[in-house]
Amino acid sequence: MLGVCVAASAGEKSVRGPASLTQNFVLGLNSVDVTVSFESVQNLSLVNLGLSALIINPLDPLLLSRLPASVTIPSAFPVLVHIDPLPLPLVGLEFTGVASVILYTTDLHYTPGTRLRLFSAHNGGPFVDITEETSAGSYRVRGSQGEFSEFMIVTDDRDPATIVNTKFSRLSSLMTTHQSAIDPTLFATLSGHYNDAHADWLAQDIDGAKAGIQAFLAAALASGPAEMADVWRSTEDVTDIDGLLRSAAGTLHFSLEDARDTDLDGVYDFSDNCTLVINPTQCDTDGDGYGNHCDADLDDNGTINTFDLTPLRAAMGSTGSNDADLDCNGIVNSFDLAIMRDAFGGGPGPAANLP
Ligand SMILES: [Ca+2]
Ligand SMILES: [Ca+2]
Ligand SMILES: [Ca+2]
Ligand SMILES: [Ca+2]
């Protein structure tokens, strides 16, 4: 790799405690800041952490075969980050709980509703979504891990409900896999929160499901090492069950928000041009981002008032594409007038990513 510049916020750290480390990689036209932060870590150093990054072919069939269908590698950022801590028995990296990985790049641009996500794979296995947060300002993404290996920013065009179902399944199978190593009382508590969240999800209660997963996260965080192992070390001879469960629950919590459809019209809030009105066709004849169903502001002055009534009256009876056809049924009539009356005094919207 070329031009590695180092900005470590914590140098060699042999005493256990919270710490993070950032390394910048410049790879041809691409650059990325990789930050790894720990709740509690021992023997953290750039050498021990084993960070590297390389340019990949975004169409590499081997890499694509490790991604779910409808997940692609953005050609503007074909970068694979490796975190492979050196397996040093006595002075190797050791951490408790979760490790957060943040990738920051100016090569991608955050837009509201972005489908860019952070994926990770362990030991050459399949890549899974570990995203817990995305934020504005170029592109910054955070996910957490109870283990390391490869990290990539990808575009995930899968259906958000499919993503949520996949993450519930993953969390459930992790719990089943490690059940025998979890204290039975803690396991019952975690299962209870999981089941509550899953039932709320099936009932399309996103807030309830998020609260259930928050309770799961809190119970796991409050548990002690006697109830559930929570240590990862570079020799990989122990399993950080706490870290695995909390990172799987954390990314599920993130994805639940993506799957919110407040008006239940089948268009998720993050892209619905009328988030509170049923408008599955999303028709928007004036192309301003507000669907006709919530855009009675015909003169585009921000308020729905008598000035909008005039053009609607003038269009009465007309057929075909028309801004005054608020219900998009092909004709301007009294139903459209009723929609305008209901919206009187307010503004257009609300719509995804618009005020
Ligand atoms: Ca909707
Ligand atoms: Ca809608
Ligand atoms: Ca509109
Ligand atoms: Ca109409």
Question: Would you kindly state where each structural domain of the chain is located, as residue ranges?
Answer: 2-158, 162-258, 274-355
Cα distance between residue 290 and residue 348, in whole Å: 7
Q: List, for the chain, all residue ranges whose pLDDT scores fall below the cut of 70.
A: 1-14, 137-138, 146
Best CATH choice for the domain 274-355 from the list 3.40.50.1400, 3.30.1490.20, 1.10.1330.10, 1.10.150.300: 1.10.1330.10
The Cβ-side half-sphere exposure at 194, using a 13 Å CA radius, reads 22
Q: What is the DSSP string of 91-154?
A: TS-EEEEEEEEEEEESSS---TT--EEEEEESTT---EE-EEEEETTTEEEEEEESS-EEEEEE
The rounded Å distance from CA 203 to ligand 2 centre is: 19
CATH topology of domain 2-158: Chondroitinase Ac; Chain A, domain 3 (2.60.220)
pLDDT for the residue 11: 42
Residue 9 has a pLDDT of 40
- What span, in angstroms and rounded, lies between the C-alpha atoms of 206 and 258? 10
Indicate the pTM of the whole model.
0.89
- What is the 351 CA–ligand 2 centroid distance (Å)? 8
Cα distance between residue 211 and residue 213, in whole Å: 5
Residues 11, 16, 20, 25, Cα dihedral to 10° = 60
pLDDT for residue 7: 35
Is 120 within 8 Å of 248 (Cβ atoms)?
no
Q: How many CA atoms lie within 13 A of 133 on its CB side?
A: 11
State in Å: Cα 327 to ligand 1 middle: 15
DSSP letter at 49 equals H
pLDDT of residue 226: 96
Centre of ligand 3 to C-alpha 323, Å, is 7
Residue 304 CA to ligand 1 center (angstroms) comes to 22
* Helix 241-258 vs helix 206-222: crossing angle, to nearest 10: 160
Q: How far is the CA of 68 from the centre of ligand 4 (A)?
A: 42
For residue 21, report the distance from its CA to the centre of ligand 1, in Å.
41
What is the structure's pLDDT at 40? 93
Distance 319 CA to ligand 4 centre (A): 9
Instruction: Look at residue 14 in the predicted model and tell me its pLDDT.
Output: 60
What distance in angstroms lies between residue 286's CA and the mean position of ligand 3's atoms?
A: 5
| Residues having C-beta closer than 5 Å to ion ligand 1 | 261, 263, 265, 267, 272
CA of 353 to the centre of ligand 1 (A): 13
CA–centroid distance, residue 289 to ligand 2 (Å): 12
Q: Report residue 64: phi and psi, to 5°.
A: -60, -30
The ligand minimizing its distance to the Cα of 295 is 3
- For residue 230, the model assigns a pLDDT of 92
**246 C-alpha to center of ligand 3: Å?**
42
Predicted pLDDT at 12: 45
Query: How far apart are the C-alpha atoms of 153 and 77, rounded to whole Å?
Result: 8
Residue 16 pLDDT: 86
- Which CA distances in Å does 106 have to 26, 76, 94, 117, 206? 11, 10, 31, 15, 32
Residue 168 exposed, middle or buried by CB count within 10 Å (0-12, 13-18, 19+): buried
DSSP 3-state of 212: helix
From the CA of 221, how far away is ligand 1's center (Å)?
Answer: 34
- State the ligand closest to the CA atom of 274: 2
Cα 278 to ligand 1 centre (Å): 7
Tokens 């170029």 sit at which residue?
138
Q: What is the pLDDT of residues 168-180, one digit of tens each?
A: 999 999 999 999 9
